[in-house]
Structure 1
Amino acid sequence: MERMAVLVLALCWLGLLLSPGTKAAEDDHMPHDNNQTTDGVQSLCQALDPSPQVQPFVEELTQPPVIDISTGQQLTLGVYKIKQKFHPDLPETTLYAYGTSQETASTPGPTLLATRGIESYVRWENHLNDSEHFLTVDHSIHWANPKSGGVPIVTHLHGGEVLSESDGYPDAWYTSAGELGPAFTTQNYTYANSQPAALLWYHDHTVGITRLNMLAGMNGMYLIKSPGEEPENLPAGEFERLIVVQDKQFHADGAVNFPTVGVSPGVHPNWCPEYYGDTIILNGKAWPVMTVYPTMYRFRMVNAANARYFVMTLSDPKLRFYQIGTDGGYLHKRMKLTTLTMGPAERLDFLIDFSKVTPGSVAYLNNSGNAPYPDGDPAVGLATVMMKFNVVAAPENVTVPQFDLPASQVLGPRVRISTEGAVVRSMTLSEYDDGNDNPTGSLLNGLRWRDPLTETPELNATEVWEIINLTEDAHPIHLHLISFRVKSQQAFDAVRQANYNCSFFVPFPDPQSCFTEAPQKPELHHRGWKDTATVYPGKVTVFVVRWATQSGEQFSFDATSGPGYVWHCHILDHEDNDMMRPLKMMAANSSQLP
């Protein structure tokens, strides 16, 4: 542990950032080029100037405000232009953030607390009066492009079983001036909250600029509780922490450093294949510290990064992760782990027991995720550290509860989905370049967002999705409306496949098969109910997808109505540049396209 502490301190010269405390931005009606330094220097894709140096671990981890939305009353949340500090040593940063008012808006936004079985009602408003986005919009890719200008938004409840009119369809955007996208239906959303207890999250989903709006601050957590159905012996109150993780890069004036020059400017002047920031931010704090007592704590975490994977370890060898949940809620039983992997949009629910650590000690939550994941450049400097834990003895007047979670305790039901007679879909992930090996976009099944509809599953049907990754990077694939199970992963010979010297239809170990191994069980972080899962390069990953609730029942709403749903890569830079496809639910036994 001491060696790790020395390593962390040795890395501090690479420092960065700011801290919450928000106020309205001045000159709200005037566009600001917040993406350049004061001397007008351009920001090059994946060659951004480093953020200013700051001292890490100086501010305590905070919790966003919580709003109970199970009251039956409609909540109005708006997106406002604000300024917020991520670290005391950096100036304020201009952001677009959710709040009940401009004064309360922050990133992450308020945590919305829902109760299973009780509908919630949220009106999402756009109060952004800028004539253009403060981050650079690449007009060469397909995007909302409102004719009257402005910053369009539309909010998606990620992981929610919701009516499509309330799902945040990418073309259902709207501006503060009232211009509407072609699929717009309403700003008044209804959430059924009929699914099991889980941590969901809300974020912008506007076609072509989701990466900009998310980096600008449009995200927050949404927690579904289920009284009487959840384990009772888990840490709660001050011993339970909800955390949004992001990475950003900053200019000296506090502005978000985002590329103004793309990787292939002749094709896309500004678009960059992946955005990676050198500053790790948890709940709006750069490299926070958390003071803990020697007992067990529960952490519920969302990866809201544009592209970064976090591969997390604990510096103290006495500490372990006890994972108890994932995207769709509780696992069947806990898993004791030394490493946790969290791709973009994934959620983790885990425990850390600090009772084994002597008060006065410190520990670090570290990150070793390569960028791009899994075979890109290793994390360096302070990107290898996420937060610090200070373990202290409790004051004499404080009684610290002790928690116990036996390995045999059942947390959630064991689920097996029959695939007998299931529809099998083979889907490809592909990338294209400019002829000089500079990527210029990625596609699902070789199709763009605006190409004709191809995915039309029937309600209550079970499908097997065989997703073939022909690219060199991992892609976190997200399906709207439902949760699914990851069945298997299987490596294939990409060279033979590219030269048409083998077949995916011939099973391993036949010499004519493209596969180089038998199907493998999914990795540990892919167990349980998922709405986002990683499809690794050179592998076929199989999802079992049932177009119904987790329990196999029909939805309590008409999922065939409205504009429909989508599936996409959740690396936002890919999603925005056509790695997203529409998905329209059909009635059972339907043979007609909409």
Structure 2
Amino acid sequence: MTELISTPSTVAEGPTFGLTKFLDPLRVPPVIRPHSWWHQDELTVTMVRTAVRLHSQLPPTAVWAYDGHFPGPTIEVRAGHRLRVSWTNEIEGKIPLVAVRAPLASAPQDSPGFRAPDGSLPEGVQLVDGVSDLPSWTVVHLHGALTGGGNDGWAHNAVLKEASQLTEYPNRQQATTLWYHDHAMAITRFTVHAGLAGMYLIRDEEEAALDLPSGEHEVPLVIADRNLDTDAAGALTGQLLYKVPYLTTPTGQVLHLPFTGPFTTVNGVIWPHLDVEARWYRFRLVNASNARTYQLRLLDDETGEPLDDAVRQIGTDGGLLPAPATLPADGLVVAPAERADLLVDFSRLRGRRVRLTNVHPTAAPEPSVMQFRVEDRDRHDRFRLPAKLSTSYVRLHHGTTVPEDHDHVFVALVPPGTAGEGHPQLWELHEITDPGRVPTELPAAGIIQLTDPHTGRVRTFERVASLFDDTTSLFIDHGRWAVWNFIHLGGPAHPMHVHLSQFQALDRTEYPRDAATGNVTGFDVATGGTTAPLPPPGPGRPLDPRDEGWKDTYLVGPGEWLTIAGHFAGATGNFMYHCHILDHEDEGMMRPFVVMPAEAARFHIHRFGGGHHHGEAAHDTRSHGGNAL
């Protein structure tokens, strides 16, 4: 490869805290293919404590890792081939990270270290009590998998050292990019941060027929940000640092923000590079960050010229798109837990050094993600970008591909500070159908009134649950379709993930917001309810090809009303839905739901009915969750 002449870069640069960008090559996790010639259908994946180098200029970093790899090995299976995995916990010792809270004004979260030079804690900085005592208590969730509740990674079903979690994955779904990660109740933000994440690929004949780039030309990209501690001299130690900021409002309320860090890792390497041939490559990308959203662009590393036109997106969380899609003009937004299946034509970029960078407003001080170094020669590449991808894809629409007889789920996302709570909250809503129970004075705590955009009718909803251990109120009959309504009343954007099913977005609409607070106009934070019926929402940002693809995680912005549709078939049991900002999930933004056969559900006595078919034996019919719009 011809060396490039160094010229001044016009790409935005930020502090690197003594580390050289693009110094280290990208590591590619090993691949496990259980369904090979000996027809193995069982695996044991062992979690251990190990040490890795996040950068060659750093000391080793202690992590928890699947089979000793950070990220874990890529598991590759065939669609329809059952796989049983024994996730075995052999992790020694306590969690290998330091967790602190620091005032946002005096100790920015996107800077390493937290101690004064003499080792003392500066004013306002506090160690997070109890984190250093956490044992290895783990439970694996295969994110995006259609599998039974007993295999899904129920958060309370974590196991301690010298125990195993036994799971079965039917893999009865189309070719797609899944990922696995820890999901232990209340501590997921720490266990995933410590290293427990990896990629899982499903292959099928539809994908194989496309003859996409493969082998060394198909590369996983597991992107995650991290922070590191420093010693008394200010040098990076390699010790993982979980530093979260807090601020105090004028009313004295303390608000904690989620973790983000100054160092971007790809496959466990800080700002790596990858030498590539001048041909098409396929990249399987997952945002495994705790909270950071990326807005990715491909730029010439010297001139800053946008090169996004060399990229095509061919798949989303749940599988292939019907046709290749160009990147949005302002970059590809990938929220925590979202995946993107990308093709890049490096033959158009011969001899260049190309930077993948994050242009999101909340990007780290150094926005670079990684660098591609493209050889300066011609390659014979037989691959040609197909005009069509998934021939099995069907676009969902109300009343046609989504049958008229379906359930509706309503969830409100409410801002920090609501009714005195310092964290954003998730409210499960049920409609009040008895006029005598509708409050006569508003605002009332936990009461949301809105105007149905289809009928103009005012509907009153009450909060029936918020925390995970509140009464289960959502029950869906196996085999039914459900439309989920996420109504974001203010606060940060939330990547909402629903287990078990894959979805398509039906609509994004938007409410007016208060210019000062950013909250939906008409929502009273002090009381926690609407002051009057919200008007019908107006047009929101249009759906893009990513929204129309199959997905299990959706970024919902403040003021948005997002509706998504999914089919709850193929498995039953207890499942979860939650915000995939892991701090939010652990701080209460997670709720359970139950899928069970309709024939059994008719005999199930419970407080709330989740669908239209509330059973004959369920005599307590005080609320129904399945009121269709």
Given the two structures, how large is their TM-score scaled by the length of structure 1? 0.78
5 Å matches for 1:163-562?
163-176=148-161, 187-227=165-205, 229-251=207-229, 252-259=236-243, 272-316=256-300, 317-320=306-309, 321-337=311-327, 338=329, 339-357=331-349, 359-371=350-362, 379-382=363-366, 384-394=367-377, 400-408=380-388, 410=390, 412-416=392-396, 417-433=401-417, 439-445=422-428, 447-494=466-513, 495-498=520-523, 500=530, 502-504=532-534, 513-515=535-537, 517-518=538-539, 521-548=542-569, 555=570, 559-561=571-573
Partner Cα separation in structure 2 for residue 93 and residue 213 of structure 1: 15
Partner Cα separation in structure 1 for residue 556 and residue 58 of structure 2: 38
Residues 197 and 230 in structure 1, CA contact (< 8 A), matched pair in contact too: no
Residues 298 and 350 in structure 1, CA contact (< 8 A), matched pair in contact too: yes
| Residue number in structure 2 paired with 1:152 | 137
Look up the SS of the partner of 1:53 in the other structure.
Answer: coil
Q: 2:9 aligns with which of 6, 9, 24?
A: 6
Runs of 4+ with >6 A deviation: 1-5
| Residue number in structure 2 paired with 1:47 | none
Partner Cα separation in structure 2 for residue 59 and residue 519 of structure 1: 42
The letter of the residue matching 1:405 is L
Output one character per residue of 1:52-74: Cα deviation in whole Å (capped at 9) or x when no partner. 32000011222100011223342
Partner Cα separation in structure 1 for residue 364 and residue 146 of structure 2: 38
Residues 302 and 347 in structure 1, CA contact (< 8 A), matched pair in contact too: yes
Q: Could you tell me how far 1:319 is from its partner in structure 2?
A: 4.3
Residues 111 and 221 in structure 1, CA contact (< 8 A), matched pair in contact too: yes
| Residue number in structure 2 paired with 1:40 | none
Q: Could you tell me how far 1:454 is from its partner in structure 2?
A: 1.2
When structure 1 is superposed on structure 2, of 407-416 and 521-530 the one drifting more is: 407-416
Q: Could you tell me how far 1:441 is from its partner in structure 2?
A: 4.5
Partner Cα separation in structure 2 for residue 4 and residue 498 of structure 1: 53
Output one character per residue of 1:211-264: Cα deviation in whole Å (capped at 9) or x when no partner. 001110000001111146534331111211111000001122111121377557
The letter of the residue matching 2:340 is L
Partner Cα separation in structure 2 for residue 381 and residue 440 of structure 1: 25
Q: 1:162 aligns with which of 147, 160, 166?
A: 147
CA change 1:117–1:406 in 2 (3 A) is closer
| Residue number in structure 2 paired with 1:508 | none
Partner Cα separation in structure 2 for residue 527 and residue 168 of structure 1: 27
| Residue number in structure 2 paired with 1:571 | 581
The letter of the residue matching 1:257 is L
Structural RMSD (CA): 3.0
| Residue number in structure 1 paired with 2:64 | 96
| Residue number in structure 2 paired with 1:72 | 40
The letter of the residue matching 2:339 is R
Look up the SS of the partner of 2:546 in the other structure.
Answer: helix
Partner Cα separation in structure 2 for residue 119 and residue 413 of structure 1: 23
Q: Could you tell me how far 1:390 is from its partner in structure 2?
A: 1.1
Output one character per residue of 1:459-506: Cα deviation in whole Å (capped at 9) or x when no partner. 1111221111112211000011110111111111345321545534xx
- Give 1 or 2: higher strand fraction: 2
Look up the SS of the partner of 2:239 in the other structure.
Answer: coil
CA change 1:106–1:410 in 2 (3 A) is closer
| Residue number in structure 2 paired with 1:106 | 69
| Residue number in structure 2 paired with 1:141 | none
Partner Cα separation in structure 1 for residue 258 and residue 140 of structure 2: 22
Identity %: 31
Q: Could you tell me how far 1:170 is from its partner in structure 2?
A: 0.2
The letter of the residue matching 1:151 is S
Structure 1, unmatched stretches of 5+, are 16-51, 100-104, 139-144, 179-185, 372-378, 505-512, 549-554
Q: Could you tell me how far 1:567 is from its partner in structure 2?
A: 0.3
Q: Could you tell me how far 1:4 is from its partner in structure 2?
A: 9.8
* Matching of residue 586 in structure 1 with residue 596 in structure 2: yes
The letter of the residue matching 2:78 is T
Structure 2, unmatched stretches of 5+, are 102-129, 230-235, 301-305, 429-462, 514-519, 525-529, 607-629
Partner Cα separation in structure 2 for residue 282 and residue 315 of structure 1: 17
Q: Could you tell me how far 1:164 is from its partner in structure 2?
A: 1.1
Residues 210 and 386 in structure 2, CA contact (< 8 A), matched pair in contact too: no
CA change 1:7–1:163 in 2 (3 A) is same
Q: Could you tell me how far 1:566 is from its partner in structure 2?
A: 0.2
Q: Could you tell me how far 1:433 is from its partner in structure 2?
A: 2.9
Residues 415 and 492 in structure 2, CA contact (< 8 A), matched pair in contact too: no
Q: Could you tell me how far 1:291 is from its partner in structure 2?
A: 1.3
Residues 496 and 514 in structure 1, CA contact (< 8 A), matched pair in contact too: no
